A and B are shown apart, each in its own frame.
Chain A
Amino acid sequence: MNEEINVDKVMDLKGLPCPMPILKVTKGIKEIEIGQVIEVLSTDPGSINDFPSWARTRGHEILKTDQNGEVTKFYIKRLV
């Protein structure tokens, strides 16, 4: 069984191409507290590489990535 991740905020960014997903999540993550988790849904194929790059650079942690067809789900923990 998968461990449940407690999500504090969901951002649906489906249909938005680069660079919007990264710009939106930069704004969105400021709306949760440090230690909380944001769930992001993206259909931009670039997101699969972009979100990890973004998280590494900003110092956040991607807890889990789920790919389901065109939609990729990222669970990102705010660390800073």
Chain B
Amino acid sequence: MNNIEAQIEELKSQIAAIEKKSPSDKISMIVFSGDMDKVLAAFVIATGAVAMGMEVVMFFTFWGTPILRDKNKKAGGKDTMGKMFGAMLPKGTCEVKLSKMNMGGMGTAMMKSLMKKKNVASLEQMIEMAQEFGVQIYVCEMSMDLMGFKREEMIDYSKLSYCGVATFLEQANDSRIQLFI
């Protein structure tokens, strides 16, 4: 009798351990790319996932980081390298280019006008939708530091915070889907 009770207790703790390990209905994305088309795809998947009832976490790192800069904001106190990176990298969504067929900016401009004509949501609209849908955005602190970006030059977004690799891995470990874009 005692033996059975002990076995049940053992099973209960095993089930609890399995439940703790099983991933949530969540998607974790790394947005590494700074290309317009790729980032647009990332936001389409992100908002679509919320519509499907999933929790969404996006991590912006390296070339993805400057996309979240606000073109109307300025940040002071940068060193020479920071100023250089700041000037060379896109200042927000309006300056990002296609990964293919950019053709000195002509391809991107054509794509943008085609998107407008066909009613396809722009990157700006997709970020707005993501905010409305509660998509969590994390920005890689190391990329910010490396490129000399300041927090005060980033976009206003309700669920935006800064983190390192451990935060991503904790979230990814608890997600059913992980994407690297």
Task: Assess whether B44 is in contact with A18, with CB atoms less than 8 Å apart.
Answer: yes
> Taking the complex as formed, is A15 at the interface, i.e. its CB lies under 8 A from any CB of chain B?
yes
Given A23-B129, A23-B133 in contact, is the A17-B51 Cβ separation under 8 Å?
no
A20 to B120, CA, bound (A): 9
Q: Restricting to A25-80, which residues have a CB under 8 Å from any CB of B?
A: 25-26, 53-54, 57-58
Q: Of B51, B53, B118, which one neighbours A19 at CB under 8 angstroms? A: B51
Q: Which chain B residues lie closer than 8 Å to A16 at the CB level?
A: 119
Given A16-B119, A17-B118, A17-B120 in contact, is the A23-B47 Cβ separation under 8 Å?
yes
Q: Which chain A residues lie closer than 8 Å to B51 at the CB level?
A: 19, 22-23, 25-26, 54
Task: Assess whether A15 is in contact with B119, with CB atoms less than 8 Å apart.
Answer: yes
4 A-B pairs closest in CB distance: A26-B51, A19-B48, A22-B51, A57-B52
Contact with A along B118-157 (1 / 0, CB 8 A): 1111000000010001000000000000000000000000
Task: Assess whether A58 is in contact with B48, with CB atoms less than 8 Å apart.
Answer: no
Task: Assess whether B121 is in contact with A20, with CB atoms less than 8 Å apart.
Answer: yes
A-B contact pairs, 22 of them (CB 8 A): A15-B119, A16-B119, A17-B119, A18-B44, A18-B48, A19-B44, A19-B47, A19-B48, A19-B51, A19-B121, A20-B119, A20-B121, A22-B48, A22-B51, A22-B52, A23-B133, A25-B51, A26-B50, A26-B51, A53-B52, A58-B52, A58-B53
**CB closest residue in chain A, given B133:** A23
A17 to B121, CA, bound (A): 8
A33 to B122, CA, bound (A): 32
Q: Which chain A residues lie closer than 8 Å to B118 at the CB level?
A: 17
Task: Assess whether A57 is in contact with B53, with CB atoms less than 8 Å apart.
Answer: yes
Q: Which chain B residues lie closer than 8 Å to A18 at the CB level?
A: 44, 48
Question: Other than the known A17-B120, A54-B52, what 11 A-B pairs have Cβ atoms closer than 8 Å?
Answer: A15-B119, A17-B118, A20-B121, A22-B52, A23-B48, A23-B129, A23-B133, A26-B51, A54-B51, A57-B52, A58-B53
